[in-house]
Structure 1
Amino acid sequence: MRVLGIDPGLTRCGLGMVDGVPGRKPFVLAVDVLRTSPHEETGVRLAALEATFEEWVQRYRPSVVAVERVFAQHNVGTVMGTAQAAGIALLVAARHGIPAALHTPSEVKAAITGSGRAGKDQVGAMVARILQLTEVPKPADAADALALAICHVWRGSSTDRLDQAQQSASSVAARQQRAYAQAATQARTKGARA
């Protein structure tokens, strides 16, 4: 499974491409941090993010895009920019028919370090260890993007299978319900004719 991890941000946006399967060590294909200037208009900055996401999707052909779920913070401006960047990532994934998954920061930390309360240094060190890198990816946005991708390789695929099974069960139940309703309607119609 090839996963594009995106740590969304308007000023710094981390991108990490990882290939792997559950139960085995994943390996990194690419990592980068896109920076946009706070002095530029928001639309120009979002367009730069979109162009970069498009380039990565076309170059690396991910099977899934994993994006950090945005949480409210005290700084409304920061959360707005983060949400806008996440929205662009989801848009590009949808445009290409690529499934997208949202992971909470604590979920990612728990997958990578074993603790949902791990600090950025711990996450970075574990990302380097898991991917057998000689040093921790810098800045932290790069390590966070790789952590998102690793998290999805290890946890997301099982979550995807559960979601697919639930959708399939719901679909079967809906078909059965329609069949029962149709049979009941036909029985009432026959009874009314008799």
Structure 2
Amino acid sequence: MRILGIDPGLRITGFGVIEKNGGQLTYVCSGSVKTSEGDLPSRLKEILENVRDVIEQYQPDHVAIEQVFVNINPKSTLLLGQARGAAICAAVVNNLKVAEYTALQIKQAVVGKGHASKDQVQQMIVRLLNLPAHPSSDAADALACAVCHAHGGLGLGKISTAGFRMKRGRLV
């Protein structure tokens, strides 16, 4: 199974592709889409077209994207949401389902703690994917999103609870 992870951003959108074969994760590629300083519609078009090109070239089976967090500046949050929407559109026009993860979920899946630093995420990605060098921060975040999906997103690797009774979120 091939997974495309996306770390959305209006200025820089990171992407990373991994393969999951059983319990083994393999690095395929990573990089970033850097938009020009043009108007908003032009920048969104760049994100859409570049993510679509990555999808066409690497043919992922799944797409995982980081959810927008609300930060202090509402305008920045809205712009980030639009960049994220352009990346999601690139996936859905190619008939791919999109899984969404919070930064907390991604860090928890990759580092083991939800409040890990960017540097810790980068270092774990190097270890988990046996990379010879550190990817850029945006590419590392995108790879981390893909790893999060591979490690348990949307039922991939979740423990089956079929046939068990659940009580207040616990097996009984």
TM-score (normalised: structure 2) = 0.87
Q: Is the 8 A contact 2:150 2:156 kept in 1?
A: no
Alignment of 1:1-194 (within 5 A): 1-21=1-21, 23-24=23-24, 26-37=25-36, 39-138=37-136, 140-158=137-155
> Given that residues 150 and 157 in structure 2 are in contact (C-alpha distance below 8 angstroms), is that contact kept between their aligned partners in structure 1?
no
2:152–2:158: 8 Å Cα contact kept in structure 1? no
In structure 1, runs of 5+ residues without a counterpart are: 166-194
User: How large is the Cα RMSD of the aligned pairs?
Assistant: 1.8
Distance 1:57 1:135 in 2: 24
Structure having the higher helix fraction is 1
After superposition, the Cα gap between the structure-2 partners of 1:160 and 1:64, relative to the gap in structure 1 and judged at 3 Å, is farther
Aligned length, in residue pairs: 160
| Rounded Cα–Cα distance in structure 1 between residues aligned with 2:22 and 2:109 | 12
1:136: how far off? 1.6
- Where structure 2 has 5 or more consecutive residues not aligned to the other structure, the ranges are 163-172
TM-score between the two structures when normalised by the length of structure 1: 0.77
Between the aligned residues of both structures, percent identity stands at: 36
Between Structure 1 and Structure 2, the one with more strand by share is: 2
Shift of 1:5: 0.5
How far apart are 1:19 and its partner, in Å? 0.7
Q: Higher Cα Rg: structure 1 or 2?
A: 1
Shift of residue 22 of structure 1? 5.3
Amino acid across the alignment from 1:74: I
